[in-house]
Structure 1
Amino acid sequence: MGAGLARLWLGDRPLLRPWSGIKADGPFALAMNLLAPFSNRIAGGFHHDGSDYALPPNLPGEPLPIHGDAFQRRWLVTEQTDNSVALQLPDGSFGPFRYGAAVRYRLDEHGLAARLELTNLGVMALPFGAGFHPWFPRSSQTQIRFDASGYWPENAQHLPATRAAVALPPDLDFAGRRGLPHGWINVGFAGWTGQTQIDQGPDAVSVRVSSDDLHTAMLYSPSAGADFFCFEPVSHPVNAHNLPGRPGLVTLAGSDSLNVGMRLDWGLSDDRSA
């Protein structure tokens, strides 16, 4: 199931929404997914270095390709200790992408670190991306705080409605701690500073999401009635392969690699007022 995480608990309190335990529910019922060789949706394909590349849809009910296919493949456990595990995907293939991937998860007293490496195994240089897709519990007490420089509004196809990121409207400015919107939200934030605080209330565990490598973040939740939301540190915005300048994508020649990491720390208080 794509080397995703099934559960992450602190005592009897979930830090991530636990896996349903039912394999038929699919990988997105897990607590976290890995995204490679790109994240989120691409508008059917892209043009690169004089050639057009088509990408097939890869999920039922989704007309566009989404999140690559590393999350749908079988990975091999290559190393395991009391507090860490390494897994490898030796033969990833999606459209023109031929790639290998490796991930290491490591637990310590205060957090979980994840590091994902993606290698171009093909002969063509292509634009690659990667990211992490954690699913957090959501309740009426959930609040988040993070800084970003702008965002990409979403159109009816769940693609960016603008060619470049635009200024944040007041209701999407999370620089001060605030609750999630009551309705649908599925937008990408540009210029994420790599730190997000998630406060789940006095009876739950605060979590800090951080990354030194990833500067775009997706925020998704269908409504206040959902028991989850997603805050996804990723390398690039939705449909970056077809945006000017291909923000966040990295062109990898054969045997070149992209290495990104994310960390979840718990029990840390926010050092800024709401």
Structure 2
Amino acid sequence: MPEFQPNLTEVELLRGPLRLSVCPGLGGAITQLSIDGIDLLRPWDGTDSVRRTGCFVLAPFSNRVGDAAFEHDGQRYPLRSLSVEHPLPIHGVAWKRAWTITEQSPTSLCLTLTHRPEGEGVLDWPFAFELEHQIKLDDDGVALQLTLRNIDNRSMPAGLGWHPYFLRQDACWLRFGASSVWRNDPRNLPSQKTPIPTEWDFSTEAPLQEPGLDNCFVGRTGPVTIHWPNEGMQLTMHPSEALDHLVVFTPPAEMGFFAVEPVSHANNALCMDDPTVNGIRTLDPGETMQVSCRFSIARA
């Protein structure tokens, strides 16, 4: 599938020293988050690739779908990949669509997106839905809220999350609590849920280093803290309770970024024996799913 040609116009929110920019036409992505001129998210490189932005929405599912198809209510639904960089369907639909601004103020933004499974869009996602993304700056940082509504006449499986890319900087420390982690097979799909090994344990603050992670942690409780000691900055993510999975991606340090993604379900949960046990929600017609995540930003 050819990449869509987006409108690359940005919208900027300001509150005191905090600056946040969004590109509605490029997957509704956050393209900058900085305080006093210090970038916290990886700043967008200005290209038409949403994967080069700072943060995008994951909906109506997170990460990969291993069989490029899933079953729901006794029917099998094929999916196509929307990314030339990934052979499997990944990250849902929202990051590959232009969003519409429905409300705007100097410190807040509301973006919406409607998907209808028409034509080839059936292979993107077979159910109709509406998404609303609220972004607000306040004295503490950034408040994000996602609402997904099933507007189909059938029930649909659903998952939500965010995919922020954080800057490594010269030194970076990470802390989060979880109960277990999925080990991956050669296709980078979860194959075995195990206790968290020592080298992947960030239950107490530890330097990020290069753990080589692209794994989903299960049973996240409490906040996620990212600390840049040289910059004297700390960002604390407070995901809502439903976002009890955490995908952590740590490419080589020379890449200059890492990802810590609060999500509602395990990677490939749509294809697991029991998707519900692994975080997938089933939304009846007209039913909504809502999640939130706060980024609290402070001088450390």
Supply the distance in 1 between the matched residues of 2:51 and 2:71 (Cα, whole angstroms).
Answer: 29
Classify 1:152/1:92 alpha carbon distance in 2 versus 1 (closer, same or farther; 3 Å): farther
Q: Which amino acid aligns with 1:22?
A: T
Out of 140, 143, 147, the position equivalent to 1:117 is 147
Structure 1 distance, partners of 2:116, 2:245, is 24
Q: How far apart are residue 184 of structure 1 and its match?
A: 2.7
2:250 maps to 221
Residue 233 of structure 1: how far off its partner (Å): 0.3
RMSD: 1.4
Quote the residue 1:87 is aligned against: 111
2:266 corresponds to: 237
TM-score, normalising length from structure 1?
A: 0.93
TM-score (norm. length: structure 2): 0.85
Contact in 1 for aligned 2:93/2:125 (Cα 8 Å): no
The offset of 1:156, in angstroms, is 1.4
Alpha-carbon contact 1:37-1:97 (below 8 Å) kept: no
Unaligned runs of 5+ in 1: 270-274
Match of 2:34 among 1, 4, 9: 9
Q: What is the one-letter code of the residue matched to 2:203? A: A
Separation in 1, partners of 2:294, 2:116: 25
Deviations 1:112-144 (A, max 9, x none): 011011111212212100100111001341110
Corresponding residue to 2:283 among 245, 252, 269: 252
Q: Which residue of 2 aligns with 1:27?
A: 50
Gaps (5+ residues) in structure 2?
1-25, 118-123
Mapped to 2, the partners of 1:5 and 1:77 lie a distance apart of 13
| Deviant stretches of 4+, over 3 Å | none
Q: Which residue of 2 aligns with 1:209?
A: 237
1:239 deviation in Å? 0.2
CA contact (8 A) 1:194 1:215 kept: no
Note if contact 1:70-1:92 (Cα within 8 Å) is conserved in structure 2: no
- Distance in 1 (CA, whole Å) between partners of 2:76 and 2:240 is 33
Q: Give the corresponding residue for 2:72.
A: 48
Work out whether 1:102 is the aligned partner of 2:132: yes
Residues in 1 aligned to 2:232 and 2:116: alpha-carbon distance in whole angstroms: 38
Identity %, equivalent residues? 32
CA distance in 2, matches of 1:92, 1:194: 36
